[in-house]
A and B are shown apart, each in its own frame.
Chain A
């Protein structure tokens, strides 16, 4: 079983749509979780951390469900510029982050 598992997509959505990604993790001891964004042929960049209480940053909302071992990312009012691959990341031990393979989002006019 993969340590961090994501639906690869692609998710094709129109502008203005709301889209949600889920990610599951296998290590119940994982403490820290993040969402990174990676544009085509670019490096990953931190989008947001995921806290136990959930957190929101503008149109983006991240939530953590420890009981079911999954995290989610909700994007409201999708923009063309949101098109990218979204990487789910969990801590796999001290100083060690485990990345999912990513979920590709394509927002079209």
Chain B
């Protein structure tokens, strides 16, 4: 148990559906992340939130819409997805670093395995 909980674990949706992924961390961290992991590809950073503010949007299509109501919760709202969006979506948290050097250690949730039909 890493202290980062993601739901649902598995999700199958059609291209016209709207669904949301949820992430909650119990580690007292103040930075949260969404990553996408496709088969045989590196993890791709999608979004970063520090103290509830979005600080990184890695050119993610608008059909993915993140929401961070507080430092412990992160959502990823999905709508009109494409089959190529099928992947493992991982949430992570870390302690925000106030220095100039990035040395965060990430703690990941178990992920949501998403299939878009």
Name A residues whose Cβ lies closer than 8 Å to a Cβ of B. Answer: 2, 4, 8, 31-32, 34, 36, 42-46, 49, 87, 91, 93-102
**How far, in angstroms, from A42 to B43 measured CA to CA in the complex?**
13
Q: Please tell me if the beta carbons of A95 and B90 are within 8 angstroms of each other in the complex.
A: no
Q: Number of B residues whose C-beta is below 8 Å from A?
A: 26
Q: Please tell me if the beta carbons of B40 and A101 are within 8 angstroms of each other in the complex.
A: yes
Name B residues whose Cβ lies closer than 8 Å to a Cβ of A. Answer: 2, 31, 40-43, 45, 48, 50, 55-56, 90, 96-97, 100-111
Q: Which of A2, A31, A93 contacts B103 (CB 8 A)?
A: A31
Q: Which of B31, B42, B97, B110 contacts A99 (CB 8 A)?
A: B42
Contact A97-B31, Cβ < 8 Å, known A31-B101, A32-B101, A43-B2: no
